[in-house]
Amino acid sequence: MDKLNVAVFFGGKSSEYSVSLESAYAVIKNINREKYRPVAVGISEKGDWFYFQGDVEKIREDTWLNEEDAVPAMLSPRRSERRLLILGREGISFIPVDAAFPVLHGKNGEDGTIQGLIELSGIPLVGCGVLASSLCMDKDRAHRLVGLEGVRVPKARVFRQRQAGEVKGFAGELGYPLFVKPVKAGSSYGVTRVQKPEELEAAIWLAFQHDDEIIVEENIEGFEVGCAVLGNVDLMVGEVDEIELAGGFFDFTEKYTLKTSAIYVPARIDNEKAAEIKRAAQVIYKALGCRGFARVDMFLTPDGEIVFNEVNTIPGFTEHSRYPGMMKAAGYSFQEVLDKILALAL
């Protein structure tokens, strides 16, 4: 049969640019070449788009953006064409695109922006759509919707910059430790676990560097658990994983180095509690309108209560990332997971 062209978007104008390179490299290396032909579309840190036709190793090494391998490109706005337009020196050429897979993390990639552009182009989108992507990036609105489904969410309040003077009073009501976070940011950027009042001002300043709204949130005792969910209507859930921390919280450094933390999959909990966590993950996934795939992160308290944390609509996608790891523990290889994700879009 004819191979289908899958545009794999990587890089991006985001603080998680480097993580995207690793994820996209793994996707391109593991995609089923008997069914699909990857079409690499790199987005520079300035936000410029390029068709990349070089060695995939250059993506991982971040040497992909060069005159020999990268040619300016854009999606055709003509829905009937479903094409990637290549803006070469000798004129415009094109590549048909059967599906678009944004392997982008954080702002301008996981927040609904590129999803909208892909949907406008008429190309089948791999993963969550515009609304779900936007909602899951917004910690406040995601929590509100999930709370309506009966899942416990942390006590919290949102503040804009003009309300910064009110944070101290709310923090006193909430009690320490607590978290200060940007409302819309990925991979724990701008997040601070505040232990005492003297640390609050710096945490507020840091969070506002990443968004114009911040959320001040109660600290949940216990540990973080995650669920890899795959599907549109009928959902498949990987094994629950567990994050063990030596101290602090699972920030950007810990997520990608595991210096003082460890991830256990399956989680060290009984089967009944694991099943309850999987059911909660499915409720959350559906409440936020997710489709394709996503990772649902929750907390498990010492008394066994499940508390929603967040949903990552484009989680890390290297062979050693949490999402593939949870699916592997459930019996699905990285290649099988990619196959299923692409089939859902097509």
Question: Is it the case that residue 249 has pLDDT exceeding 70?
Answer: no
Q: Residue 64 and residue 62: Cα distance in Å, rounded? A: 6
pLDDT of residue 254: 45
pLDDT of residue 50: 98
Q: Which domains does the chain have, with CATH numbers?
A: 4-126 (3.40.50.20), 135-152+221-345 (3.30.470.20), 156-218 (3.30.1490.20)
pTM: 0.92
With cut-offs at 50, 70 and 90, classify the pLDDT of residue 245.
Answer: confident
What would the pLDDT profile of 252-263 be if each residue is shown by its tens digit? 544 544 555 789
pLDDT of residue 248: 55
Beta-bridged to residue 293, according to DSSP, are: 230
As a whole number, mean pLDDT of residues 158-164 equals 91
Query: How do beta strands 83-88 and 70-75 pair?
Result: antiparallel
pLDDT of residue 189: 81
Question: Is it the case that residue 313 has pLDDT exceeding 70?
Answer: yes
pLDDT of residue 1: 60
Question: Is it the case that residue 174 has pLDDT exceeding 70?
Answer: yes
Amino acid at 205: W
Cα–Cα distances (Å) from 151 to 58, 108, 278, in that order, read 44, 29, 13
As a whole number, mean pLDDT of residues 72-89 equals 95
pLDDT of residue 107: 87
As a whole number, mean pLDDT of residues 53-62 equals 97
Question: Is it the case that residue 203 has pLDDT exceeding 70?
Answer: yes
Distance of CA 260 to the CA centre of its chain: 23
Question: Is it the case that residue 51 has pLDDT exceeding 80?
Answer: yes
pLDDT of residue 89: 87
As a whole number, mean pLDDT of residues 289-299 equals 97
As a whole number, mean pLDDT of residues 240-260 equals 63
* Beta strand ranges found along the chain (DSSP E): 4-11, 36-43, 49-52, 70-75, 83-88, 91-96, 99-102, 156-160, 178-182, 192-194, 213-218, 223-231, 236-237, 241-245, 261-264, 292-300, 306-312
